[in-house]
Amino acid sequence: MGNASNASGEVELRAAQGFLVGEEGRGVATILEMVSLTRFDCMIGSAAGMRMALSQAMHHTIQRWAFGRPLVQQPLMQNVLADLALESEAALLMGMRMAAALDTDSEEERLLARIGVAIGKYWICKRAPQHAFEAMECIGGTGVMETCMMPRLYREAPINAIWEGSGNIQCLDVLRALHKSPQTAEVLLAEIGQAAQHPAIRAGLQRLQQRLQSPGGDLEFSARQLVDEMAVLLQASLMLRYAPASSSEAFCTSRLLATGAHLYGSLPSQTEAQAILRRAWAVADF
Ligand SMILES: Cc1cc2nc3c(=O)[nH]c(=O)nc-3n(C[C@H](O)[C@H](O)[C@H](O)COP(=O)(O)OP(=O)(O)OC[C@H]3O[C@@H](n4cnc5c(N)ncnc54)[C@H](O)[C@@H]3O)c2cc1C
């Protein structure tokens, strides 16, 4: 369906000499060191896809006039674009935070990367296809034409979620990390807690702590629920620390406080959409 021009290959090794790169009998553990880096690639790739989709949507809506003004100035379109921008920024921040953890030589950061890469790989890759679709819809009919970039971005979007361990496998990996290294939970909660001055984070942390302490029911059956919660809280914490208040408040309100399924374009009315869009397009005004 997608990934039509990736430089992938299949190699046959005949009479080749091999060297053990890890401990005998611990092959899977050894290859997982590499796999966590390729899973990290998937997060970054999907975050990059979101940024490109947002750029395409912004570029189009700034130029296209409908109902007497540019689309980017229509309030409902501003809601959709601002929401796409928030998702893109939160994905980028999560990717960069995991990059820093993978690059740092401390036990806490190693533990954070251990659980955070699985959470991020699951969440960002899962959010990408809907993000690409909404960006495509911002462009309208032209967005589905093969002559524009959107069809390729859209077809590519699900692939990062499937390969290098699909969504369920990432969630099961989070459970494995929690079981084998319970300190991963402590490190994750501490990371989220860096923004605990915000009431939505405090409430979310409390919920997550309770769920971790007394999971109840079948853990595997509800693993996605658990990982969803971890992902959004981690992103919200990062937004509160690294993004301006206009963006982080809108992110927290729409992702932590709102009820019901989150579809793009449902930011609450107090959202400073213009500020979010100016930041996304790096302009003083439209
Ligand atoms: C374009 C492309 C390129 C690829 N390149 C490479 C490559 O270069 N090298 C390589 O080694 N591989 C490669 N792959 C393979 C890829 O890593 C696998 O396809 C992917 O990890 C999913 O595994 P699978 O296809 O065996 O699916 P399955 O393991 O059969 O999974 C099918 C579904 O079942 C779910 N599932 C599996 N186990 C459980 C469980 N216990 N509980 C709940 N749900 C479960 C999965 O999440 C998935 O949704 C590539 C795949 C694609 C699409």
Contact predicate 2/159, CB 8 Å: yes
B/e letters for 253-268, b = 16+ CB within 10 Å, e = fewer, are bbbbeeeeebebbebe
Query: Which pair of structure tokens corresponds to residue 102?
Result: 């993978």
Tell the residue nearest (CA) to atom 48 of ligand 1: 166
How far apart, in whole angstroms, are the C-alpha atoms of residue 36 and residue 73? 42
Which pLDDT band, with edges at 50, 70 and 90, does 285 fall under?
confident
Residue-wise pLDDT tens digits, 192-238: 999 999 999 999 999 999 999 987 788 999 999 999 999 999 999 99
- pLDDT exceeding 90 applies to what percent of the chain? 87
3 lines ligand 1 (CB under 6 A): yes
Residue-wise pLDDT tens digits, 254-268: 999 987 778 899 999
In which residue are the tokens 């408040």 written?
249
Structure confidence at residue 32 (pLDDT): 83
219 lines ligand 1 (CB under 6 A): no
Contact predicate 112/187, CB 8 Å: yes
Question: Mean pLDDT over all residues of the chain?
Answer: 95
How far apart, in whole angstroms, are the C-alpha atoms of residue 97 and residue 89? 12
167 lines ligand 1 (CB under 6 A): yes
Sorted by where each begins, the domain ranges of the chain are 32-257
Tell the residue nearest (CA) to atom 49 of ligand 1: 166
Tell the residue nearest (CA) to atom 42 of ligand 1: 168
How far apart, in whole angstroms, are the C-alpha atoms of residue 153 and residue 2? 9
- Distance from the CA of 75 to the center of ligand 1, in angstroms? 41
Alpha-helix runs per DSSP H in the chain: 27-63, 75-103, 107-139, 150-156, 159-162, 167-180, 183-192, 199-213, 223-242, 245-252, 273-281
Whole-model pTM: value is 0.94
> Higher pLDDT residue, 3 or 70?
70
Tell the residue nearest (CA) to atom 38 of ligand 1: 169
How far apart, in whole angstroms, are the C-alpha atoms of residue 137 and residue 277? 17
169 lines ligand 1 (CB under 6 A): yes
> In ligand 1, which atom is closest to the CA atom of 2?
1
Which pLDDT band, with edges at 50, 70 and 90, does 132 fall under?
very high
* Residues whose CB falls within 8 Å of the CB of residue 181, separated by 6 or more in sequence, listed in order: 111, 114
Tell the residue nearest (CA) to atom 50 of ligand 1: 163
List the single range of 5-14, 188-197, 267-276 with lowest mean pLDDT.
5-14
Tell the residue nearest (CA) to atom 27 of ligand 1: 166
How far apart, in whole angstroms, are the C-alpha atoms of residue 168 and residue 125? 12
At residue 4, φ and ψ (nearest 5 deg) are -80, -20
166 lines ligand 1 (CB under 6 A): yes
Contact predicate 114/101, CB 8 Å: no
Residue 2 scores a pLDDT above 80: no
Mutate to test the pocket of ligand 1, among 1, 163, 173, 174 (most ligand atoms within 8 A of CB): 163
Which pLDDT band, with edges at 50, 70 and 90, does 9 fall under?
confident
- In CATH terms, 32-257 corresponds, of 1.20.140.10, 3.30.70.3270, 3.10.180.10, 3.40.50.720, to 1.20.140.10
Contact predicate 92/242, CB 8 Å: no
- Distance from the CA of 165 to the center of ligand 1, in angstroms? 5
Structure confidence at residue 144 (pLDDT): 96
Contact predicate 49/152, CB 8 Å: no
List the single range of 28-32, 50-54, 250-254 with lowest mean pLDDT.
28-32
- Distance from the CA of 223 to the center of ligand 1, in angstroms? 18
In which residue are the tokens 């807690």 written?
193
Residue-wise pLDDT tens digits, 108-127: 999 999 999 999 999 999 99
**Residue 59 buriedness (CB in 10 A; 0-12 / 13-18 / 19+):** middle
142 lines ligand 1 (CB under 6 A): no
Stretch 59-77: mean pLDDT, rounded? 97
Residue-wise pLDDT tens digits, 143-192: 999 999 999 999 999 999 999 999 999 999 999 999 999 999 999 999 99
In Å, how far are 54, 97, 113, 197, 213 from 237, measured between CA atoms?
22, 11, 16, 10, 21
